[in-house]
Amino acid sequence: MAKDKKSFLLYTDQQSIFKLLPDELAGKLIKHIFAYVNDEKPATPDLYLQLAFEPIKQQLKRDLKLYEDVCKKRSDSGKLGGRPKKQTEAKKANGFFEKQTKAKKADNDIDNDIDNDNVRNTDIPAREVFVQYGLSLVNGNNGYEFTLNAKFDSWVENKWRDGKGQKIKNWKTKLANTIPYLKPMSQPNELNVDHSHPLMQKLKGVDYTNQKL
């Protein structure tokens, strides 16, 4: 976390991660998140906790980068006296600096800016909508659920572009063309994990491979 930053963002579509976890592991995950954002550098040998935390960790890193960029822009503006280049923008500038008088409120404003930037593209569906549509393409085969979640994360992290860097204009068409390349795990025993673990029972028969298409 940045110095003096008192807040961070979690997103509603991340609820699906918690829903997949047993209550005990979900509790460990939220504690792990708070330890991470408070710079406690948490480490865990639990493979399932690592898998669940990784997409959240990457989103936190992206948000922190945006936060730092906004802070730098505001700092540079302050060094220039906060004066706009055009007098017609004076009223807007005054309103901008009124927000800077309260550090906590400014911090929240930046987080809201980040949140808005992340959802600005209205073509990106909710995770649940994406996954359910993908499942409808494979006749409701739940073996694809984790694979579809992985594909959704990869496109979001790539700013809604595919593995070739091309902007996804119609996600339903793109997913329909991509689904033949996604398949459930055929040999789950290749993983050196405890298959009696509650989370593994939910992931059994699923391939989490993130293929670039």
Look at the block and give the residue holding tokens 């409701």: 140
The CA-to-CA distance between both ends of the chain, in Å, stands at 34
Q: Round to whole Å and give the CA distance between 194 and 43.
A: 20
pLDDT digit string, tens, across residues 73-92: 888 877 776 555 555 555 55
Q: Round to whole Å and give the CA distance between 36 and 161.
A: 28
Q: Of residues 171 and 185, which shows the higher confidence score? A: 171
Structure tokens at 213: 């298409």
- DSSP assignment of 41-98 equals ------HHHHHHHHHHHHHHHHHHHHHHHHHHHHHHHHHTTT--SSGGGHHHHHHHHH
- DSSP assignment of 110-169 equals HHHHHHHHHT--TTSPPHHHHHHHHHHHTTT-GGGHHHHHHHHHHHHHTTSB-TTS-B-S
Mean pLDDT of 120-145: 84
Q: Give residue 71's pLDDT band: very low, low, confident or very high (50, 70, 90).
A: confident
Q: Round to whole Å and give the CA distance between 173 and 169.
A: 9
Bridge partner residues of 167 (DSSP): 161
Look at the block and give the residue holding tokens 């708070």: 34
Phi-psi region of 63 (alpha: psi -120 to 50; beta: other; left: phi over 0): alpha
Q: Give residue 164's pLDDT band: very low, low, confident or very high (50, 70, 90).
A: confident
Q: Where are the domains of the chain?
A: 13-118, 127-203
Say what percent of the chain tops pLDDT 70. 65
Q: Round to whole Å and give the CA distance between 210 and 4.
A: 36
* pTM of the entire predicted model: 0.40
Q: Of residues 94 and 145, which shows the higher confidence score? A: 145
Structure tokens at 3: 């110095």
Structure tokens at 70: 């906004």
Q: Residue 28 above 90 pLDDT?
A: yes
pLDDT at position 132: 92
Q: Residue 213 above 80 pLDDT?
A: no
